Amino acid sequence: MAFYYSEPSRTFNEYLLVPGYTSEECIPDNVSLTTPLVKFRKGQEDCPITLNIPLTSAIMQSVSNDKLAVALAKEGGISFIYGSQSIKDEAAMVKRVKDSKAGFVVSASNLTPNDTLADVIALKNKNGFSTVAVTEDGTATGKLVGIVTSRDYRVSRMDTNTLVKDFMTTIDKLVTAPEDTTLHEANDIIWEHKLNSLPIVDRNGHLMYFVFRKDYAEHKEYPRSMLDANKRYIVGAGINSRDYKERVPALVEAGVDVLCIDSSEGYSIWQKRTIDFIRERYGDKVKVGAGNVVEGEGFRFLAESGADFVKVGIGGGSICITRATKGIGRGQATALIDVAAARDEYFKETGMYVPICSDGGIVHDFHMTLALAMGADFLMLGRYFAGCDESPTNKLMINNQFVKEYWGEGSNRARNWQRYDLGGKTDLSFEEGVDSYIPYAGSLHDNVEKSLYKVKSTMCNCGVTNIPDLQKNAKLTVVSATSIVEGNYHDVILRTNT
């Protein structure tokens, strides 16, 4: 006879936090949101990678590219570059993030001396940058021969066919700095010479980076940035259980900090074999998360297989239709509570703390706090980040509203059959995700700041100032359908502006 769970499968919307005692220390400015990303011996050693905020971006084409990865790393979180692309392209994205050393920017706008003013204008319209590096071969790392800024040309007074070499600021008139220049030294040079940008060149005159005056304030603005020992942004990447023998080495060589097996269902031999390969080749030096699972048995399997963290959630994403098409999954709240209990039991038995990631089901900001209270160490968000400026999708006007495109990895558009691999034929037999639009949300920074302030405020209401204490001391209550209605505005007529 089949096994039946006695409790229903519940979502975040079916729970509320009950306030605790709020002391004078419980103010948002005192709340720490640091949290472990990968496994460690809790109480005996520090976690190798600690997030400064408990947010990661989903392994999706419509969410996590190199641009969003840098933006989220500045906030203190981490992105997992999507793996449903060629190995070469994914590794290149990872490398671009790692090359974006904090304060040292790889040139994104590059031309040759024989390009024209029309090319400069087109490049500026495309990416919005006013500083263009002029190199011999037109690449970001070619031999620097000059730069072009808005001060070097006037569109109204010049022929657009004018060659770049005829109006650029040539190398002999530029202030540059050698490759071993520190960020502090670079900023001193910028202020001393009243520069807007400082090219960093190697001993052969090849361009390496730019340091911009405008970034000085930015460095002060993002004190939580996720940086490695070389002041480069930390970045993750998704892998699958098919081509991992080729994909993993390429990503490691590109400098990836942590990997994650991207699968709709992780309690499988395929994930174990992927982890086994990584452990045999790299030992514990390469960190890899696994999942997704929705109950304790699946967690223990992946933890014992060597996973550095485990993702929780099947079918809860806003664009996921796995539950509707296959009838498998579990309410995100119930799944998270079950897996968190298994994680704590595994820690008691082994002394190894394996963090869990809540993936899916986050609709409102307060769901973030609920997920953390239920035991999640960090969250993985797709729709939330897809609406931001930094996501790779198009911003469109639909029905007089700005929207951004958002599609699931199980949709026909993504055709990411590897994520749903069951060891059989290599194609997408049916869709497990949809293609959609979501409201445009603006800058990632503004959204994260607002959401996390709500999280901190709620934690203060619960009488805690860090995530471990929230997990230990939170009091949660199941709410009725009537209570959910009562929790929103009701029995009033809203005023509208006329």
Give the span between the Cα atoms of 498 and 494, in whole angstroms: 12
Q: Which of 47, 260, 320, 460 is catalytic?
A: 320
Give the span between the Cα atoms of 306 and 274, in whole angstroms: 10
DSSP class per residue in 325-365: HH-----HHHHHHHHHHHHHHHHHHHS-B--EEEES---SH
Q: Tell me the longest C-alpha to C-alpha distance in the chain.
A: 83
Known catalytic residue at 320: yes
Q: Cis peptide leading into 292, omega within 30 of 0?
A: yes
Dig out the tokens for 293 from the structure.
């699972």
* Displacement of CA 322 from its chain's centroid (Å): 23
* Displacement of CA 115 from its chain's centroid (Å): 36
Dig out the tokens for 264 from the structure.
């709709």
Q: Letter for the amino acid at 258?
A: V
Inter-axis angle of helices 269-282 and 296-305, to 10 degrees? 30
Q: Which of 232, 343, 419, 462 is catalytic?
A: 419
Work out whether the CA dihedral 34, 40, 41, 44 comes out positive or negative: negative
| φ/ψ of residue 265, rounded to 5 | -150, 115
Known catalytic residue at 419: yes
Give the span between the Cα atoms of 126 and 107, in whole angstroms: 14
Are 40 and 47 in contact by the 8 Å Cβ rule? The answer is: yes
DSSP class per residue in 415-454: --GGGG--SS-SS--S-SB-EEEEE--B-HHHHHHHHHHH
Catalytic residues: 320, 419
